[in-house]
Amino acid sequence: MRYQGIPVQKGVVIGFVSKNAATLERHNGSDRVDVDEERMRFFDALLEYESRMKKIAHNAPGKDASDIVRAQIMIARDAVFSDEVIAGIESGMKAEKAIDTACQKYSEKLRESGDSIFAERSSDLLEVKNGIISAMEGSGDEDSYAQDPAFTGNILVSDALSVAQIIGLKNTPIKAVVLTTGTASSHAAVILRSMGIVSVLGAELDISSLEDGCEAIVDGETGQFIAAPTGVEKDWYKRKLKEFEVEKTLARIPDGKSLPSETKDGERIEVLCNLGTDDLPDHVRLSDGAGLVRTEILFAQKNGFPSEEIQAAIYARIADSFPEKNAVIRVLDIGGDKTYGMYGDELPRALRNKESEDNPALGIRGIRVLLGDEKLFRCQLTAILRASYGRKISILLPMITSVGEGKAVKELIASCMEELDKRKISYDKNIRIGCMIETPAAVMCAEMIAKEVNFFSIGTNDLSQYIMCADRGNSAVSGLCSIYQNPVLRAVRMVCESAAKYGVPVTICGEAAAQTDVLPFFIGVGVRSFSVAPSCVYDVKKAVSGLTLSSCKQLCSVILDESDDEKIREILK
């Protein structure tokens, strides 16, 4: 059930309702009484009230809140107010009744004035009245909320809350407040905002119809309160919650810095991002660099192959979004099951007028396409080299199946460098070259490849497909084409072992890198770098901070001995 209110403090809380049974109205006795005794009770209560309120003012979150509390103290101290109460007592009223009557009289006058500021003072009077009466009864000081064991949930739903009650929420489990009264500028709103409590005021809702402890969602941005949300509503808000978390984190990170990520026992884990565009979202700032720039997707958006100059400008722009960090540009990975229609006439020679292949995934793709079209490949390599001058840029080679392919590319890069020298164009002479490990052949000869390149990037998407002989695009075999398959996990371990022998760093850049349940396995076999979609960087870094190296290593040995993928899934969950 959805209820609309006034949005007061931004944020989303998904939790359980705690109804505030106490209302601000109290019962006031009207028995005839001893005038001297009632007078004494009133003055004692005034002193107690003032001392409580001073304590509250001291704990108030910010100047606005303490000003509101001090204004209430001033009202209670007002001689005209005291005289009015004493007159009531002398006319035969109990102190509670006399206070109530005096407050009501002033409150009505203020409300009748029609001025919004006076109307606000009238709610102050109501709070002063309840505060003095609480002090008289020895109940309801500001700590009472903190000690209240009656909170069943973390969303407090009430008709109204006094300033003192709101400040008292500081040490409670309450994360959101929904009130049926109040406005965006009421005292309650000012204080809730300064305390950062997600809140919705003036909600059109009958609290008696609400079950205490029921599940609920508060959206402080739109002013929505949802009681007993559906699964779809919960999922939607969980996503929104994550966005808020990321936004808040981003705001805390100084420009040029990334979110730190290390395990509980201090092992540094790099989390990079995968990109297919040069129009980068703000949250790429959370990452430690660009771990995989898929140029085939980049160019598909530009409707063809840009010239050397334009490509160089695009790569430079991407790298400049990660100052001081590395940007790994993967050369075109097209062909096979990755042919992009939008290239039209500009298709590389190896793909133009090509007979259709019976097994495209095993046909002309990736490095095979590039080595079959030197002009196209030289253009891209030269553009990357040009962008590398003064920047940290690396080259990544897709679909490698032999050491020979790696060597051929290195020769071509050396030749492109010579040409740039002739053209007097600068580039990074020590540019790093890496190899995608995504074919069984590359796994088997990883040690030999390691001698030729500077880094490995394991493409778990293709690696799963080729190790398991299960098409990554075919849902009928999706259970086989999966990181949870023991042979795929063993292949990852083999690559890490080969890389470790030659001190070659390994990044995981397939979709599995963002699967936080598989993270302990990867870390356990020695991976210290992950490249994931920008939207997953935050989650992966958060998951890393909850792990220890020793537990990751332990988990690995258990998993690698398990052949059933369902059991592997269960262990990792």
Query: In the complex, which residues of this chain contact ligand PEP (CB under 6 A)?
Result: 292, 294, 333, 438, 459-462, 509-510
Q: Does 462 bind Mg ion (CB under 5 A)?
A: yes
Count of residues touching Mg ion (by CB under 5 A): 3
Place of tokens 């009557």: 101
User: Rg (Cα) of the chain, in Å, rounded?
Assistant: 34
Nearest-5° Cα angle at 284, 279 to 286:
165
Contact of residue 510 among ligand PEP, Mg ion, none (CB under 5-8 Å per partner type): ligand PEP
Q: Is the four-CA dihedral 529, 535, 539, 545 of positive or negative sign?
A: positive
Contact of residue 509 among ligand PEP, Mg ion, none (CB under 5-8 Å per partner type): ligand PEP
Contact of residue 435 among ligand PEP, Mg ion, none (CB under 5-8 Å per partner type): none
- To Mg ion, the closest distance from the beta carbon of 459 in angstroms equals 4
Q: How far is CA 144 from CA 93, 164, 170, 223, 479, in A?
A: 29, 10, 11, 28, 55
Cβ nearer to ligand PEP, comparing 8 with 437: 437
Among 270, 428, 438, 452, binds Mg ion (CB under 5 A): 438
Cβ nearer to ligand PEP, comparing 93 with 509: 509
Cβ nearer to ligand PEP, comparing 291 with 520: 291
Contact of residue 534 among Mg ion, ligand PEP, none (CB under 5-8 Å per partner type): none
- To ligand PEP, the closest distance from the beta carbon of 16 in angstroms equals 41
Cβ nearer to ligand PEP, comparing 86 with 400: 400
Cβ nearer to Mg ion, comparing 139 with 474: 474
Within 10 A of 539 (CB to CB), how many other CB atoms are there?
17
Binding region for Mg ion (CB under 5 A) out of 304-312, 322-330, 451-459, 476-484: 451-459
- To ligand PEP, the closest distance from the beta carbon of 258 in angstroms equals 21
Cβ nearer to ligand PEP, comparing 187 with 294: 294
Q: Does 459 bind Mg ion (CB under 5 A)?
A: yes
Cβ nearer to ligand PEP, comparing 45 with 292: 292
Q: Which amino acid is at 81?
A: F
Cβ nearer to Mg ion, comparing 452 with 462: 462
| Token pair listed for 410 | 């290195």
- To ligand PEP, the closest distance from the beta carbon of 409 in angstroms equals 17
Beta bridge partners of 227: 216
Q: Where are the beta strands (DSSP E) in 465-558?
A: 506-508, 529-532
- To ligand PEP, the closest distance from the beta carbon of 460 in angstroms equals 5
- To ligand PEP, the closest distance from the beta carbon of 294 in angstroms equals 5
For residues 406 and 49, give the distance between their C-alpha atoms in angstroms, rounded to a whole number. Answer: 81
**Do residues 412 and 345 make contact, with C-beta atoms less than 8 angstroms apart?**
no
Cβ nearer to ligand PEP, comparing 15 with 276: 276
Cβ nearer to ligand PEP, comparing 141 with 296: 296
- To ligand PEP, the closest distance from the beta carbon of 446 in angstroms equals 16
Contact of residue 337 among ligand PEP, Mg ion, none (CB under 5-8 Å per partner type): none
- To ligand PEP, the closest distance from the beta carbon of 237 in angstroms equals 31
**Do residues 60 and 155 make contact, with C-beta atoms less than 8 angstroms apart?**
no
Cβ nearer to ligand PEP, comparing 5 with 335: 335
Three-state secondary structure readout of 183-223: CCCCHHHHHHHHHCCEEEECCCCCHHHCCCCCEEEEECCCC
For residues 122 and 181, give the distance between their C-alpha atoms in angstroms, rounded to a whole number. Answer: 14
Binding region for Mg ion (CB under 5 A) out of 245-253, 441-449, 461-469, 542-550: 461-469
Task: From 48, 44, 28, 27, select the one nearest 36 (Cα to Cα).
Answer: 44
| Token pair listed for 203 | 């909600």
**Do residues 434 and 452 make contact, with C-beta atoms less than 8 angstroms apart?**
no
What phi and psi values does residue 230 have, to the nearest 5 degrees? Answer: -80, 170
Contact of residue 348 among Mg ion, ligand PEP, none (CB under 5-8 Å per partner type): none
For residues 122 and 124, give the distance between their C-alpha atoms in angstroms, rounded to a whole number. Answer: 5
What phi and psi values does residue 520 have, to the nearest 5 degrees? Answer: -60, -35
- To Mg ion, the closest distance from the beta carbon of 443 in angstroms equals 13
Under 8 Å CB-to-CB from 502, ≥6 apart: which residues?
447, 450, 451
Task: From 143, 186, 147, select the one nearest 165 (Cα to Cα).
Answer: 143
Q: How far is CA 114 from CA 105, 107, 117, 207, 429, in A?
A: 15, 12, 9, 28, 77
- To ligand PEP, the closest distance from the beta carbon of 462 in angstroms equals 3
Task: From 161, 323, 223, select the one nearest 3 (Cα to Cα).
Answer: 223
| Segment 28 to 47, residues that bind Mg ion, using CB under 5 A | none
Binding region for Mg ion (CB under 5 A) out of 194-202, 306-314, 430-438, 527-535: 430-438
Binding region for Mg ion (CB under 5 A) out of 159-167, 188-196, 432-440, 539-547: 432-440
- To Mg ion, the closest distance from the beta carbon of 472 in angstroms equals 9
What phi and psi values does residue 268 have, to the nearest 5 degrees? Answer: -75, 130
Positions in the binding site for Mg ion (CB under 5 A): 438, 459, 462
